């Protein structure tokens, strides 16, 4: 079963362009460490309208765990986190079900 990781961020309007550049850099890292894809989009309805959702897909929990371990050990990733634009609102991990 695939794993989907969803991170929601609140990003000030004046920081959106730089935040998207940071997310593009994170995508390169995450993809090189085992993710199948990473996408970003802005929430359009509901209580989180305007927030940004970063979603990445993995084949299974083992692949997600390996990526997570690699990111934690990466000085490049740690530096990016220290300078990240935006505030993490929520993190959700979903185990999908094949139907």
Average pLDDT over residues 39-57: 97
Q: Provide the number of structural domains found in the chain.
A: 1
Return the minimum-mean-pLDDT range out of 18-27, 34-43, 79-88: 79-88
Place of tokens 């359009």: 44
- CA angle, 11 then 79 then 4, to 5°: 60
Tell whether 81 is covered by a domain: yes
- Residue 16 to residues 6, 27, 42, 64, 89, Cα–Cα distance (Å): 18, 16, 10, 27, 15
Supply the CATH number for residue 12's domain: 3.30.70.100
Helix axes 61-73, 16-32, angle to 10 degrees: 120
Dihedral pair phi/psi, residue 28, rounded to 5°: -60, -45
C-alpha neighbours within 13 Å on the C-beta side of residue 85: 17
> What is the domain range of residue 29?
3-51+61-95
| Residue at 56 is within a domain | no
The mean pLDDT value of the chain amounts to 95
> pLDDT digits over 63-85, tens only?
999 999 999 999 998 888 888 99
Report pLDDT for 34.
93
């Amino acid at each position: 079963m695939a794993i989907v990781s969803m991170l929601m961020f609140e990003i000030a309007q004046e920081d959106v362009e730089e935040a998207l550049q940071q997310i593009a850099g994170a995508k390169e890292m995450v993809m090189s460490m085992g993710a199948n894809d990473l996408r970003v989009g802005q929430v359009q309805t509901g209580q989180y309208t305007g927030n940004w959702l970063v979603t990445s897909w993995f084949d299974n929990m083992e692949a997600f765990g390996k990526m997570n371990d690699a990111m934690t050990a990466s000085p490049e990733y740690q530096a990016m986190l220290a300078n990240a634009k935006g505030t993490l609102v929520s993190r959700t991990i979903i185990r999908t079900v094949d139907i």
